[in-house]
Chains A and B, each alone.
Chain A
Amino acid sequence: MSLDAPATSGRSQALPLRTTPPVLLGRGARLVERNLLAYRQAWLVFVSGLVEPVFYLFAVGVGIGGLVGSVEVAGIGEVPYGVFVAPALLAASSMNGAVLESTFNVFAKLKWGKLYDAMLVTPMQPRDIAVGELTWALMRGGVYALGFLLVAWVTGLVVSPWALLALPASVLIGFGFAGIGLLVTTYLKSWQDFDLVTMALLPLFLFSATFYPIEVYPAALQPIVFLSPLTHGVALVRGLMLGDLGWALLGHAAVFVVLGLVGLRLATRRFAALLVS
Chain B
Amino acid sequence: MARAVTLRVVEGHARQYRHTWRGTTFSTLVTPVLFLSAMGLGLGSLVDASATQTLGGVDYLTWLAPGLLAAAAMQNGAGDGSFPVIAGIKWEKTYQAALNTPVRPADLTLGNLLWAVVRASVAALVYVVVATAFGAMHLGRGLLAIAPAVVTAAGFCAWISAVTAQMKTDQGLAAIQRFFVMPLFLFAGTFFPVSQLPDAIERFVWLVPLWHGVELARALSLGTTPTGPWGVHVAVVVGFLALGVVLSVWSFGRRLHR
A-facing residues in B186-215 (Cβ within 8 Å): 186-187, 191-192, 196-197
A72: nearest residue on chain B (CB-CB)? B46
Asked if A195 is at the interface (CB within 8 A of a chain B CB), the reply is yes
Query: Smallest CB-CB separation from A196: which chain B residue?
Result: B26
Specify which chain B residues have a CB less than 8 angstroms from the CB of A81 in the assembled complex. 46
Whether A67 pairs with B192 at a CB distance below 8 angstroms is yes
A45 to B175, CA, bound (A): 7
Q: Report if A275 contacts B (CB, 8 A).
A: no
Chain A, residues 29-71, CB within 8 Å of chain B (1/0): the string is 0000000000000101100110110011011101110111101
Question: Could you tell me if B179 and A191 are in contact, using CB atoms closer than 8 angstroms?
Answer: no
Question: With A45-B171, A59-B187, A199-B30 in contact, is A212–B45 under 8 Å at CB?
Answer: yes
Give the Cβ gap from A79 to chain B, nearest Cβ, in Å. 12
A63 to B191, CA, bound (A): 8
> How many chain A residues touch the partner (CB < 8 A)?
38
Among residues 28 to 62 in chain B, which have CB atoms less than 8 Å away from a CB atom of chain A? 30-31, 34-35, 37-39, 42-43, 45-47, 50-51, 54-55, 60
Residues of A within 8 A of B27 (CB): 195, 198-199, 202
Task: Say whether B46 contacts A71, CB under 8 Å.
Answer: yes
Within 8 A of B (CB), among A98-119: none
CB contacts under 8 Å to B, within A187-220, are: 190-196, 198-199, 202-203, 206-207, 211-212, 216-217
CB <8 Å contact, A55 and B171: no
Task: Tell whether A216 pairs with B45 under 8 Å between CB atoms, given A195-B26, A199-B27, A206-B35.
Answer: yes
Report chain B residues within 8 Å CB of A217.
42
Q: Do residues A212 and B43 form an inter-chain contact, with CB atoms below 8 A?
A: yes
Is B126 an interface position by the 8 A CB rule? no
Q: Which residues of B contact A198 (CB under 8 A)?
A: 27
A69, A195, A203, A216: the one contacting B24 at CB < 8 Å is A195
Report yes or no: A68 in contact with B50, Cβ–Cβ below 8 A: yes
On whether the beta carbons of B54 and A67 are closer than 8 Å, the reply is: yes
Residues of B within 8 A of A190 (CB): 23
Min C-beta distance of A193 to chain B, whole Å: 8
1/0 contact trace for B150-177 toward A, CB 8 Å? 0000000000000000000001101100
Pair A62/B23 contact, Cβ less than 8 Å: no
Whether A44 and B175, one on each chain, are in contact in the complex, defined by CB atoms closer than 8 angstroms, is: yes
Cβ-defined contact, A216 with B42, below 8 A:
yes
Q: How many angstroms between the C-alpha atoms of A203 and B37 in the bound complex?
A: 10
Identity of the chain B residue whose Cβ is nearest the Cβ of A202 in the assembled complex: B34
Given the known interface contacts A42-B171, A48-B178, A63-B197, the answer about A216 and B46 at a Cβ–Cβ threshold of 8 Å is yes
Contact assessment for A59 and B38 in the assembled complex, using a CB-CB cutoff below 8 Å: no
Q: Smallest CB–CB gap between B246 and chain A, Å? A: 28
Q: How far is the CB of B201 from chain A (nearest CB, A)?
A: 10
Does A203 lie within 8 Å of B43, measured CB to CB?
no
Q: Contact partner of A68 among B46, B174, B187, B197, CB < 8 A?
A: B46
Query: Contacts A64-B47, A64-B192 hold; do A191 and B42 have CB atoms under 8 A apart?
Result: no
Smallest distance from the beta carbon of A83 to chain B beta carbons, Å?
14
| Neighbour of B47 across the interface among A45, A67, A191, CB < 8 A | A67
Known contacts A45-B171, A59-B191, A195-B23; 8 additional CB pairs below 8 A are A44-B171, A51-B182, A60-B186, A60-B191, A67-B55, A81-B46, A192-B20, A193-B22
Q: List 22 A-B contacts (CB under 8 A).
A: A44-B171, A44-B174, A44-B175, A45-B174, A45-B175, A48-B174, A48-B179, A49-B178, A59-B187, A62-B196, A63-B192, A64-B43, A64-B192, A66-B192, A66-B196, A67-B51, A68-B46, A192-B22, A195-B27, A196-B26, A206-B34, A211-B39
Chain B positions near chain A (C-beta within 8 angstroms): 20, 22-27, 30-31, 34-35, 37-39, 42-43, 45-47, 50-51, 54-55, 60, 171-172, 174-175, 178-179, 182-183, 186-187, 191-192, 196-197
